[in-house]
Amino acid sequence: MSTAELPDDVVRAGSEASCIVSTAAWNEFWDQSRGAMEAYQCRALLCPEPEGGFSAHCVNLRGVISQGDSEAEAIENIADAFRETLLYCRDSGEKPLWGSVEVDAPPGTKEKWILVRL
């Protein structure tokens, strides 16, 4: 399945290697592409920072944190950090540190589910 065949409610963020996706769209996409590629869900919290910009925290893979001057940049950066972490784990033979991560979320925090392809 190419990126052109993704469900209509998928919004692309940055590169073609990542996109923001609703739960319904993710489930449909996953059912159609199971086994066709390595794709993972990055669940991220985008937290507004007092000095401006956003911090981005992956809450389902420990140690993955990024930031950006805008929401779009923070989304792109957290997807890149998530992807690079998984590629490192795959190449080194280390297991990813999957699990829940607690984040002190200030008012205005947004949760995003990002589909990341390796």
Domain of residue 83 covers 3-117
Average pLDDT over residues 15-44: 65
Q: Domain of 59: which CATH number? A: 3.30.160.250
pLDDT tens by residue, 68-88 = 999 999 999 999 999 999 999
State if pTM tops 0.75. Answer: no
How many domains in the chain? 1
Average pLDDT of the chain is: 81
Phi, psi of 21 (to 5 degrees): -145, 140
Dihedral sign, CA of 39, 28, 19, 50?
Answer: negative
Q: How far apart are CA 62 and CA 58, in angstroms?
A: 7
Per-residue pLDDT, 117: 87
H or E element that contains 110 = strand 110-117
Structure tokens at 107: 């008012």
**Residue 41 in this model has a pLDDT that exceeds 70:** yes
Per-residue pLDDT, 86: 93
Task: Report the relative pairing of strands 65-68 and 110-117 from DSSP bridges.
Answer: unpaired
Per-residue pLDDT, 38: 80
Reduced to 3 states (helix: H, G, I; strand: E, B; else coil), residue 46 is strand
